[in-house]
Amino acid sequence: MKKLLASVLLMTLAPLAMAVEQLHLFIWNDYIAKQTVEDFEKSCNCKLVQGYFTSTEEMMAKLLAGASGYDVVVPTQNAVQALAKQGFLSALDKGKLANFKNSDPAFLKRSYDPANTFSVPYAFTTSLIGYNEQQLKKLGISPDNWSTIFDPKVLEKLRGKITVLDDADELFAAALKYLGYSVNDRDEKHLRQAQQVIIKAKPYWAAFNSSSYIKELAVGNIWVAHGYSSDMVQAKNDAKAAGRNFSIGYALPKQGAVLALDNMVIPKDSKNKALAHQFINFMLDGKNAAALTNEMGAGNPNRAAAKFINAEIKQQKAIFPDTATLTRLETIEATDARQRRLLSKLWTEIKIK
Amino acid sequence: MNNKNRLLIFTALAVYGFLYLPLLIVVVYSFNDSKLNAEWVGFSLKWYDKLFHNNEILSAAGNSLIIAGISALVATVLGTLAGMAMYQYRLKVLPGLVLAPIAMPDILMGVSLLLFFIMLNMSLGLISIILAHITFCIGFVALSVQARMSGIDRSLTEAARDLGANPWQCFRMITLPLLAPGILAGALMAFTLSIDDFVVTFFVAGVGSSTLPLQIYSMVKIAVTPEVNAISTLLMLLTLILITLVARLSPGALRS
Amino acid sequence: MISKSWQQRLLTLPPLGYLLVLFAIPTLIMLFASFRYTGEYGGLAPWYAYKDGGLTLELTLENWQRLFETDIYLRLFVKSIGYAVFTTLLCILLGYPLALMIARSPRKHRDLLLLLVILPFWSNFLVRIYAWMILLSPNGAVTQLINSIRDVFGLAPVSLMYSASAVIICLVYVHLPFMVLPLYANLEKHSSALLDAAQDLGANRWRRFWNITWPLSLPGVYAGSILVFIPVLGMFAIPDLLGGTDGVMIANVIKQQFVESRDWPFGSVLSMVLTAAAVLVVLLGAKFGRQGGR
């Protein structure tokens, strides 16, 4: 008994006892390869301690309440904008980021941080449609169109076999795109139109689902899912590994879609900025960046990574959009309190209709 | 054995079945040779192997046990006092204060405690998590103890008093043993609530003080992998062993 | 000799002090927050400002007014209370026989049987819910069982996943031990002498149950009902994961305010109303219970 207690205690206290330098990373779950973590720990002779969040909102809620102690955070672009305006972020010292030159200019100098003062791109995903290739072929539905999830005529054939993201921002963005507006259109009239589109389509959907659609797709319980590109890669691989008699595909709707660009930033109150820079520089290295794509299926904003990326993944336009595709993708911008309030009201109305 | 008893036992067994049905899935799939948790593919120990090489999750499990143990202990003491007080005296403030934390949505409690701790300039970690867990556990113990007390014969304590026992002896020798099942039920609930809490913990946890639910939530974005099933199975076993040991080492502590 | 008032203080002060500091103060912070403005990007805006050389308060009632602008919040409250009542009744129905059986079993087995009730809940909440998702999925064991029974009666197969039934099943599952444990604690002390006496007087089993066991166990039923009813009101994860497109409950909207919309003041308003409503329902129930008992 005493031994058991001692070992439990040891397990918990071990990181303290070693007293090596620590880097505290606050990041999306499952968003850094295990090997990369080990390589970094070896190179800096330090310990990488990760905290996880599963949505931008969770992360913002925690940081806005004043939680501190993180050295590097990996937020999506609209959160970068919000955090920077609130004065949460410390300016990056580009002199310490030799690998910054690897970043693809197409992903730099965007409106959320025009001079990349606070942020450098880490990886990106797109929001698109994942589908069961055989079932959709049988039904004669072409998945590269938002009508697949919004048009009742199409949905008639998919009733109960489709899930959409449980996320007001993403779903409204998709509906706005379907209507031909920008994902950042905040005109109340247009948002109400989008709300109507969603309400009309809702009876055909099985669920709002942001968490288990990968599995539901790979098992065959649903045929169409609105979700993130990296997840669809996962679903495709899972279905293949399980030896299903169907395969999973994914397509970017031709009306255009949301691009979510995740960035590395350093909070103002980081206690170890030198190590934080060291980490960011490490992740900008081509080989380390490539692991994100090979293991997680994330899109890669790093030019030096290209030669390390598996050939099969490189051909996927949904993950590696060419210039023409890239112009159809939009990033969601930060919203102010009034806009969020309106969106929240519209969303609640949808949910209880 | 008569009919009534047979009907009762049959119903109770069916309810046990209901409780253990999903658990069967959890345990069986932890030995499944497939990542998907969807159908049986073949027997494998690889998830356990993977688990034992995952220091992060093991230390999170250690944290969870420590937090749940301490929170349950303190909440049981405070909750028992509250339950006894609520039954014995007509109090105005305490019953509301005991009930409200049960009624308060987790998120509000998480955010409010986080703001409070930050106001006090307290660093976030195991201590802040334990303080928060005790807060939402007290009510469960108090209500359980109160429900046990109602109907307990007051004449027993009065008789003991007449025989010259002081209040402490009275409490130790008579009230406490009578209350034991209520306290035990309360302690089990407190332990369970603490070891399973995600929402409040998410807010009040600091950097590097992860608990098992936090760790598991970070792993389930791609549905639950069997590794999560494996750690759940192990945690259940470990908890069972720990509790049995505590019961053995201190005979009478858990005896009804 | 400790005087009565000292004894009362000894019992009351430690829990009272703890809850005042770690519950009442943080709650007052949030109550205050419900009168503040949201920050531009979420969180809270400062509640005072220096304007024209003087200090002005930046507080508002608009968050509370929003509650009455539409009836959707009221409808969600009513819907959630309906779910909570239904779940509580089912928990009594399933939990009572189990608690009674444990209380009437031989003394040496009781602790083990009790431990067996709570054991599944030391796994992990999410893992249990995902196990239910497997059981309730179209090819899952429970769905197939129910559909084969329906088939015998010539009824069409149903899909359980993403439905109100799935939500209720899991709500009952998750809260059942919180009914069984306090109930057991109460039932365990009933003396069998009373029942034996009743039997000697010729009362049959049902009369013995309804006239003796049930009334004596009411405090346990009451405690268990509180511990089920109230937490169900605050539950958002189960409707989120299993409810499909119509599953939303009031707690989902509260979570949405704090997380997605980053609208803490309005989230506080909704939480305060929910907490107050729940406490009121319970205290009223206690009052009626006491009067009914007399």
Q: Are residues A219 and A341 in the same domain?
A: yes
Residue C273, CA distances (Å) to A346, B108, B132, C71 in order: 21, 12, 22, 14
Q: Which residue has the higher pLDDT, B253 or C44?
A: C44
pLDDT of residue C289: 58
pLDDT tens sequence across B221-232: 555 678 888 888
Residues forming beta bridges with residue A224, ordered by sequence position? A131, A162
CATH node for B62-249: 1.10.3720.10
Q: Are residues A236 and A153 in the same domain?
A: yes
What's the rounded mean pLDDT across residues A79-105? 92
Given the structure tokens 């105005």, which residue do they identify?
B92
Q: Residue C214: its chain B contacts at CB < 8 A?
A: none
Domain residue ranges in chain C: 83-106+121-245, 249-294
Quickly list DSSP for chain B.
--HHHHHHHHHHHHHHHHHHHHHHHHHHHTTBS-SSSSS---B--HHHHHHHT-HHHHHHHHHHHHHHHHHHHHHHHHHHHHHHHHHHS--SHHHHHHHHHHHS-HHHHHHHHHHHHHHTTPPPSHHHHHHHHHHHHHHHHHHHHHHHHTT--HHHHHHHHHTT--HHHHIIIIIHHHHHHHHHHHHHHHHHHHHH--HHHHHH--TT---HHHHHHHHTTSS--HHHHHHHHHHHHHHHHHHHHHHHHSTTSS--
pLDDT of residue C168: 93
Spell out the residues 6+ positions from residue A173 whose beta carbon is closer than 8 angstroms to its own: A127, A183, A257, A258, A330, A332
Residues forming beta bridges with residue B224, ordered by sequence position? none
The domain tally of chain A equals 2
pLDDT of residue A15: 46
Q: Confidence class of residue B46 from pLDDT cuts 50, 70 and 90?
A: confident
pLDDT of residue C19: 94
Indicate whether A295 pLDDT > 90: no
What's the rounded mean pLDDT across residues B19-48? 84
CATH number of the CATH domain containing A300: 3.40.190.10
pLDDT of residue C256: 84
Domain residue ranges in chain B: 62-249
Q: Taking CA atoms, what residue in A is nearest to B215?
A: A52
- Chain B nearest C-alpha distance from C100 (Å): 8
Spell out the residues 6+ positions from residue B66 whose beta carbon is closer than 8 angstroms to its own: A8, A9, A12, B126
Q: Confidence class of residue C282 from pLDDT cuts 50, 70 and 90?
A: confident
Q: What share of chain A has pLDDT > 70, as a percent?
A: 94
Indicate whether C139 pLDDT > 80: no
- Is A325 inside any structural domain? no
- Is A148 inside any structural domain? yes
B19 class by beta-carbon count within 10 Å (0-12 exposed, 13-18 middle, 19+ buried): buried
Q: Confidence class of residue B255 from pLDDT cuts 50, 70 and 90?
A: very low
Q: Residue B198: its chain C contacts at CB < 8 A?
A: 125-126
Q: Which residue has the higher pLDDT, B73 or A312?
A: B73
Q: Are residues A342 and A202 in the same domain?
A: yes
Give the predicted TM-score (pTM) of the model. 0.85
pLDDT of residue C292: 45
Quickly list DSSP for chain C.
---HHHHHHHHHHHHHHHHIIIIIHHHHHHHHHTTBPBPTTSSB--SEEEETTEEEE-B-SHHHHHHHH-SHHHHHHHHHHHHHHHHHHHHHHHHHHHHHHHHHS-HHHHHHHHHHHHGGGGS-HHHHHHHHHHHHSTTSHHHHHHHHHHHHTTPPP---TTSHHHHHHHHHHHHHHHHHHHHHHHHTT--HHHHHHHHHTT--HHHHIIIIIHHHHHHHHHHHHHHHHHHHHT--HHHHHHSGGG---HHHHHHHHHTTS--HHHHHHHHHHHHHHHHHHHHHHHHHHHHHH-
Indicate whether C294 pLDDT > 60: no
Q: Confidence class of residue B256 from pLDDT cuts 50, 70 and 90?
A: very low
Q: Which residue has the higher pLDDT, C137 or C225?
A: C225
Indicate whether C67 pLDDT > 50: yes
Indicate whether A206 pLDDT > 80: yes
Facing A242 at nearest CB: one of B34, B63, B203: B34
Interface test with B, best of C127, C129, C145 (most B CBs within 10 A): C127
Q: Which residue has the higher pLDDT, B251 or A98?
A: A98
The mean of the pLDDT values for chain A is 88
Q: Taking CA atoms, what residue in C is nearest to A353?
A: C246
ipTM of the shown complex:
0.85
Q: How many whole angstroms from its chain centre is CA B37?
A: 27
pLDDT of residue C293: 42
- Chain B nearest C-alpha distance from A25 (Å): 9
Q: Confidence class of residue C3 from pLDDT cuts 50, 70 and 90?
A: low
Facing A168 at nearest CB: one of C162, C245, C260: C260
Indicate whether B216 pLDDT > 90: no
Q: Confidence class of residue A121 from pLDDT cuts 50, 70 and 90?
A: very high
pLDDT of residue B153: 67
What's the rounded mean pLDDT across residues C114-141? 85
Interface test with B, best of A21, A24, A56, A62 (most B CBs within 10 A): A62
Indicate whether A277 pLDDT > 90: yes
pLDDT of residue B222: 54
pLDDT tens sequence across C256-280: 888 778 888 898 899 899 888 888 8
Q: Which residue has the higher pLDDT, C246 or A10?
A: C246
Q: Are residues A345 and A219 in the same domain?
A: yes
pLDDT of residue C10: 85
pLDDT of residue C122: 87
pLDDT tens sequence across C205-238: 788 888 888 888 888 898 899 889 988 988 888 8
Q: Are residues A197 and A167 in the same domain?
A: yes
**Domain housing A12:** 2-123+261-320
- Is A131 inside any structural domain? yes
Spell out the residues 6+ positions from residue C182 whose beta carbon is closer than 8 angstroms to its own: B143, B144, B147, B148, B182, B185, B186, C220, C223, C224, C227
What's the rounded mean pLDDT across residues A62-77? 85
pLDDT of residue C105: 87
Q: Confidence class of residue A17 from pLDDT cuts 50, 70 and 90?
A: very low
Q: Which residue has the higher pLDDT, A67 or C125?
A: C125
Q: Are strands A207-208 and A47-53 parallel, antiparallel or unpaired?
A: unpaired
Rounded distance between C-alpha atoms, residue C267 and residue C44, angstroms: 12
**A264-278, B83-97, B159-173, B175-189: which has the highest mean pLDDT?**
A264-278
For B41, the token pair is: 């593919």
Q: Are strands C54-57 and A207-208 parallel, antiparallel or unpaired?
A: unpaired
- Chain C nearest C-alpha distance from B219 (Å): 11
pLDDT tens sequence across B102-147: 888 888 898 889 889 988 888 888 999 999 999 999 999 998 998 8
Q: Residue B100: its chain C contacts at CB < 8 A?
A: 23, 27, 275, 279
CB crowding C148-171: b at 16 or more within 10 Å, else e:
eeeeeeeeeeebbbbbbebbbbbb
Q: Are residues A237 and A157 in the same domain?
A: yes
Facing C162 at nearest CB: one of A64, A65, A207: A207
Q: Pick one of 3.40.50.2300, 1.10.3720.10, 3.40.50.720, 3.20.20.70 as the CATH number of C83-106+121-245.
A: 1.10.3720.10
Phi–psi pair at A234, nearest 5 degrees? -60, -45
Q: Residue A59: its chain B contacts at CB < 8 A?
A: none
Indicate whether B74 pLDDT > 50: yes
Interface test with B, best of A3, A5, A8 (most B CBs within 10 A): A8
Q: Confidence class of residue A138 from pLDDT cuts 50, 70 and 90?
A: very high
Quickly list DSSP for A39-80.
HHHHHHTSEEEEEEESSHHHHHHHHHTT----SEE--BHHHH
Rounded distance between C-alpha atoms, residue A193 and residue A292, angstroms: 38
pLDDT tens sequence across C168-197: 999 999 999 999 999 998 888 876 777 777
Q: Are residues A8 and A105 in the same domain?
A: yes
Tell me how many residue pairs between chain A and chain C have CB atoms under 8 A apart: 94
Q: Which residue has the higher pLDDT, B52 or A197?
A: A197
Q: Taking CA atoms, what residue in B is nearest to C209?
A: B4
pLDDT tens sequence across A40-56: 999 999 999 888 887 78
**A7-21, A246-260, A339-353, B237-251: which has the highest mean pLDDT?**
A246-260
Q: Are residues A218 and A185 in the same domain?
A: yes
Q: Confidence class of residue B191 from pLDDT cuts 50, 70 and 90?
A: very high
- Is A328 inside any structural domain? no
